Amino acid sequence: MASKKFNNVYIKDNVSIVGPLEKEGLLKNYDLAIDDYYYGERTFEQAEIKMQNVVLDNLLNYNKLSESKIDLLIGGDLVNQISISGYNASKYRIPFLGVYSACASYVEELIIGSTFISGKLAKKVVAITSSHNLNSERQFRYPVEYGAIKKHTSTFTTTGAVATLLTNEVTGIKIESATIGKAIDMGVKDTNNMGAVMAPAAADVLNTHLLEMKRNVNYYDLIVTGDLGLVGKEIFTEMLDKVYDIRIKKYMDAGSEIYTNSQETYAGASGPVALPLVMFDKVLNCKKYKKILFIATGSLQSVQLANQKLGIPGIAHAISLEVL
Amino acid sequence: MNKEEYQKLVKKHEPKENKLENTIFAFLVGGTIGFLVEGVIQVLMNIFEIGRIEASSWTCLIVIFIASLFTALGFFDDWMSKAKAGLLLPTTGFAHSVSSSALDYKREGLITGLGSNFFKLAGSVILYGILSAFILVIVKVIIGG
C-alpha cells in the first residue's frame, strides 16, 4: 500500500519568506520578503542558505523552542546535492535528514516527518525547503544574465523558503493521510516542459490515493497540485478524465497562484517552495476548505541525463490535510 | 496510456509559438543592427580615412564592447529574450554569451570559475566555427587549385 493514515500529527506553525517578484505577485500572507536576490550575501547560493536560516530561526523563536526540543530537521532544495539544506543544517545542533524529490521535496518531508510522529518516534519535527530563481537558472538553464529564449511551456522557479513545525499536540491543522507516488517516465525529454513530465505521476498518485483510501474525488473540498503550470494542468485533468475516469472540479494548481499574468513567468511558478507558499497563503488560511489534498509534483531530471536525451521521470506525492 | 499516445496528448496542449511573428521581428531587429553597423563603418572610414576592412574590424570591436557593457549593466538579457534571433545571431549574441558566463562564474574563482566557464555557451561556436573555416579552406584549395 502506497497510502498511510497518520495518528496525532498536526501542523503547529509555519514561517515563510518570499522573493521580490513573489512579493509583487498574488501572495499576501507571507511572513517576510526580500527586495534583493542577493539578500545581503555575496552569491545567490549563500542568499538561499540565509533564507532557510532566517525562516528556521524565526520558527524556533516564535514558538519559544530551543534546538534541543526539535527531534528532527528534514530539508530539501534544488541546488546540487541539496547543498543549501545541508549548509543550513550545519548551523544547528538538530538531527538532520536531507531529502530530494525535486519540487515534490516538501511533501516528501511532511510524509517522513508525519511517519516519525505518528509512530511515536519523534514529537517535534521541522520540515524546511527553499528555492531561488537565479540558482535554478544557473544550475539547470543558462547564466543569470543570459537572455535565453523561453518556450511558453517553461515554468519560472519561485524564490522563497518555508519552515514548518510538525507536532503531536492538537492544533488547527491535522495531517490525516498520505500517498507516496511512483516515479513515472512517459518519454518526455523536454526540460522546458516539466508540466508534461510530472502530470502522469500526479494523475497516478491521485488515483492510487482515492482507490486505497476508498474515497471519491468529491470527498475533498479542494485538490491542489504543486507546479504543473498552465500546460501541465490541462494534461493532468484530461488524463484523469480519459485514463482514470475521474472528473475533478474543485481544483487549483499552486503554480498558477503566485504570479500575475503581467509578470511574464511563462507557464507559471515552479520550485519546491511554490506549493507550501500557496498552501499557507491561500488554502489553509481561508477557512473555506476543510479537507484538502495536496499533490506535490517533481521532475527528477539532471543536466547530464537530460543532455543524454533520456525520458525524464516525474514524481508526485499526495498528502491529505484537515482544517479542524 | 502508452508513451506514443501520451506524446499526442502533450502535443495537443502545448501552446503554439507564433513562428511568423517571431521571424519578422527578428528580421527587423537584425536588419536594424546591420543598418546601424554599416553606418558606423561609413563614419569610421570617413573620419579616420581607413579602408573598409580595417573599419569593419573596429566596428566589430565596438559592437562586442556595447553588447558586453549592456550585459553587465543588466538589461541586455531582456532585450535578447524579446528580440530572439535578431540579437542572437549577430556578434552581439556571441559577446553576450561570453560576458554573461563570465559574470555568472566570477565568484567561483578566476581559474575554477571564470576561466573554465568563460566559453561555456560560446565554446561550440568557436569550435565549429574554426572547423568549418578549415573545411572551407580545403574546399577552396581543391577547387581553386
Q: Are residues A160 and A92 in the same domain?
A: yes
Closest chain B residue to the Cα of A187, Cα to Cα: B3
How many folded domains does chain A comprise?
2
| Interface contact flag, A239 B100, Cβ < 8 Å | no
Q: Which residues of B touch A46 (CB under 8 A)?
A: none
Q: Are residues A45 and A116 in the same domain?
A: yes
For B79, which of A138, A143, A147 is closest by C-beta distance? Answer: A147
Cα angle value A231/A232/A236 (rounded, 5°): 125
Residues A28 and A44: beta-carbon distance below 8 Å:
no
Write the CATH number for A198. Answer: 3.40.47.40
Q: Are residues A291 and A143 in the same domain?
A: no
Residues B100 and B69: beta-carbon distance below 8 Å:
no
Distance CA A210, CA A3 (A): 9
For B13, which of A147, A231, A243 is closest by C-beta distance? Answer: A231
Q: Are residues A201 and A136 in the same domain?
A: no
Distance CA A244, CA A207 (A): 7
What is the 8-class DSSP label of residue A94? S
Closest chain B residue to the Cα of A199, Cα to Cα: B10
Closest Cα of chain B to A76: distance in Å? 23
Show the domain range for A225.
173-323
Q: Are residues A42 and A125 in the same domain?
A: yes
Closest chain B residue to the Cα of A145, Cα to Cα: B100
Q: Which residues of A touch B105 (CB under 8 A)?
A: 143
Average pLDDT, consecutive stretches of 10 residues, N- to C-terminus, chain B (145 residues): 93 88 90 93 94 94 94 90 80 91 93 93 92 95 85
CA A96 and chain centroid, separation: 19
pTM, entire model: 0.94
Cα angle value A101/A196/B8 (rounded, 5°): 150
Q: Which residues of A touch B78 (CB under 8 A)?
A: 147
Chain A and chain B share a number of CB contacts under 8 A equal to 84
For A145, which of B17, B103, B107 is closest by C-beta distance? Answer: B103
| Interface contact flag, B10 A150, Cβ < 8 Å | no
Q: Which residues of A touch B107 (CB under 8 A)?
A: 42-43
In A96-146, which ranges are continuous DSSP H helix?
A: 105-118, 133-140
Interface of A with B in 242-301 (CB under 8 A): 242-243
pLDDT in tens, A35-76: 999 999 999 999 999 999 999 999 999 999 999 999 999 999
- E-strand stretches of A3-53: 3-5, 10-18, 32-33
Q: Are residues A130 and A189 in the same domain?
A: no
Interface of A with B in 177-206 (CB under 8 A): 186-188, 193, 196, 200
> Which positions ≥6 away from A8 have C-beta within 8 Å?
A117, A118, A168, A170
Q: Are residues A140 and A213 in the same domain?
A: no
> Which positions ≥6 away from A250 have C-beta within 8 Å?
A218, A220, A221, A222, A223
ipTM of the shown complex? 0.88
Per-residue cell: A146 = 543570459
Closest chain B residue to the Cα of A189, Cα to Cα: B7
Q: Are residues A237 and A136 in the same domain?
A: no
Q: Which of A133, A145, A204 to mutate: most B Cβ within 10 Å?
A: A145
Three-state DSSP at B126 gives helix
| Interface contact flag, A193 B15, Cβ < 8 Å | no
For A147, which of B15, B80, B103 is closest by C-beta distance? Answer: B80
Query: What does the pLDDT profile of chain A (324 residues) look like in tens digits?
Result: 899 999 999 999 999 999 999 999 999 999 999 999 999 999 999 999 999 999 999 999 999 999 999 999 999 999 999 999 999 999 999 999 999 999 999 999 999 999 999 999 999 999 999 999 999 999 999 899 888 878 889 999 999 999 999 999 999 999 999 999 999 999 999 999 999 999 999 999 999 999 999 999 999 999 999 999 999 999 999 999 999 999 999 999 999 999 998 888 889 999 999 999 999 999 998 889 999 999 999 999 999 999 999 999 999 999 999 999
pLDDT in tens, A163-192: 999 999 999 999 999 999 999 999 999 999
The answer, for A145 touching chain B at a CB cutoff of 8 Å, is: yes
> Which positions ≥6 away from A310 have C-beta within 8 Å?
A189
Q: Are residues A195 and A312 in the same domain?
A: yes
Closest Cα of chain B to A93: distance in Å? 29
Residue that finishes a domain, picked among A167, A197, A217: A167
Cα angle value B135/B141/B145 (rounded, 5°): 155
| Domains of chain B by residue range | 17-144
Residues A56 and A71: beta-carbon distance below 8 Å:
no
Q: Are residues A116 and A237 in the same domain?
A: no
Q: Are residues A48 and A142 in the same domain?
A: yes
Distance CA B5, CA B44 (A): 60
Q: Are residues A112 and A201 in the same domain?
A: no
Residues B66 and B60: beta-carbon distance below 8 Å:
no
Distance CA A9, CA A324 (A): 13
| Interface contact flag, A146 B14, Cβ < 8 Å | no
